[in-house]
Amino acid sequence: MITFEGVTKRYPDGTVALDDVTLECPTGRITVFVGTSGGGKTTALRTINRMVDPTGGRVLIDGGDVRDRRPAELRRGIGYVIQHAGLFPHRTIEDNIATVPYLLGRRKKDARAAARELMERVGLEPGMAKRYPYQLSGGQQQRVGVARALAADPPVMLMDEPFSAVDPVVRAELQDELLRLQAELRKTIVFVTHDIDEAIRLGDRIAVFRTGGKLVQVAAPEELLADPADDFVAGFIGQNRGIRSLSFAGTSKLRLRDDVVRPVTSSDTEGLDWVLVVDEKRRPLGWARGADVDGSLADAALAPVGPTFRPGTDSVRVALDAAVLSASGLAVGVDGDGSVVGVAGGTDLLEGPR
């Protein structure tokens, strides 16, 4: 547990970076600090590992004041990941990952072996161990940064906008990787971002800061979207917070239709505007307009299926996105083998969460 008790940071020129911040970051959970520029979220993060010392209040880790420990000793037990990975350019990937184990006195052979295991855990190929940072893409370097933060198996990890410097596709992959690792390792993570969507996706709890270092609200993502504390929080989340809230609505009880699903050998399209054509294993092949079918569906022109969703696994937001991108306006639900279990329209999807 990381606890902030009335933490204030005031600089000699009078600038207030943190203003009486009190909150808890629960053990084994991801707490996301989000807010405006100048809101103090990075300053708050850095008070945890004493890169910044507050001028008032206390920061506690499991009940112990961080100022009672020497900074170097404290930091060896805290993983730290920053925006551009911060790798040592003159060291190989395995030696970058093994940095803290080396400092802790581990044998080089053992530390490198552990580094290669961590590479596999974060999705890096073993052949990259002897490469240098400049030989890796930005996304790969960030994976190295995460592996290095995990190398000493710290109970606490601090992540300061670690994914903001990569493209959206890589960013989504890194977010998935972090969630996968967290499900396995259950670290106490404090994550700083300026992106509310990233905060909602990753956070078990979200702390919203505004300019002047004022903590405005601390809440679970669902609560933050449903009941923002004030106009500032509502404005920061944005006008589409209702759509975002669908990320927390499940599809396990969604009513699925099967009346538009037809095997490719069929010619039965009477009265149907759109027909979902499937193969012998009910895997979707495409959409056909009922009025355009003359004979077997095997000869029909098919529009792409578009994205699909997994009922009971994916959220209503994922299913709604699939419906919007579908030629038919219907979202296709599939099981783990990719076989169609039914379809749902926008009205069905929006009725479910209510």
CA-wise closest residue to 22 among 189, 211, 207 = 207
Each residue of 232-257: pLDDT tens digit? Answer: 998 888 767 777 788 888 888 888 98
108, two tokens: 């080089």
Q: What is the helix (H) or strand (E) element at residue 211, kind and residue range? A: none
Residue 348 has pLDDT above 60, yes or no: yes
pLDDT category of residue 184 using cuts at 50, 70 and 90: confident
77-109 per-position pLDDT tens digit: 898 888 776 788 899 999 999 888 887 788 888
- Asked whether the predicted pLDDT for residue 347 surpasses 70, the reply is yes
Q: How many residues does the chain have?
A: 354
User: What average pLDDT does the segment 160-188 reach?
Assistant: 86
Q: What is the pLDDT of residue 9?
A: 95
Question: Does 293 have pLDDT greater than 80?
Answer: no
Q: If we measure between CA atoms, which residue out of 239, 240, 299 comes closest to residue 266?
A: 299
Average pLDDT over residues 31-44: 92
Does residue 226 carry a pLDDT above 80? yes
- % residues pLDDT > 90 (the chain): 44
DSSP for 152-174 reads T--SEEEEESTTTTS-HHHHHHH
pLDDT at 310: 93
Q: Do 323 and 298 contact (CB within 8 A), yes or no? A: no
pLDDT digits over 54-71, tens only? 999 999 999 999 999 999
- Ordered by start, the domain boundaries in the chain are 2-248, 261-351
> What average pLDDT does the structure give for the chain?
89
Residues 164-170 have a mean pLDDT of 79
CATH 3.40.50.300 at 2-248, yes or no: yes
- In degrees, rounded to 5, the angle at the alpha carbon of residue 176 between the alpha carbons of residues 192 and 142 is 60
Contact between residue 236 and residue 216 where contact means Cβ atoms under 8 Å apart: no
Which pLDDT value is given to residue 52? 93
Average pLDDT of the segment spanning 285-311: 87
* CA separation for the pair 37, 193 (Å, rounded): 10
Q: Are 32 and 199 in contact (CB under 8 A)?
A: yes
Q: Which helix (H) or strand (E) holds 205?
A: strand 205-210
Task: Provide the pairing of β-strand 308-309 with 330-334.
Answer: parallel
Q: How is domain 261-351 classified at the architecture level of CATH?
A: Roll (3.10)
Shortest CA distance to 345 belongs to which of 329, 326, 321, 333? 329
Mean pLDDT within 278-306 = 87
Q: How confident is the model at residue 49 (pLDDT cuts 50, 70, 90)?
A: very high
pLDDT of amino acid 159: 92
pLDDT for the residue numbered 252: 86
Residue type, 311: P
Residues 146, 148: Cα–Cα separation, whole Å: 5
pLDDT bin (cut points 50, 70, 90) of residue 352 is low
So what's the pLDDT on residue 31?
97
pLDDT in tens, 115-156: 888 888 888 888 898 999 999 888 888 889 888 888 888 899
**Which pLDDT does position 88 carry in this prediction?**
86
Signed CA dihedral, 15, 21, 27, 31: sign only: negative
pLDDT at 75 over 80: yes
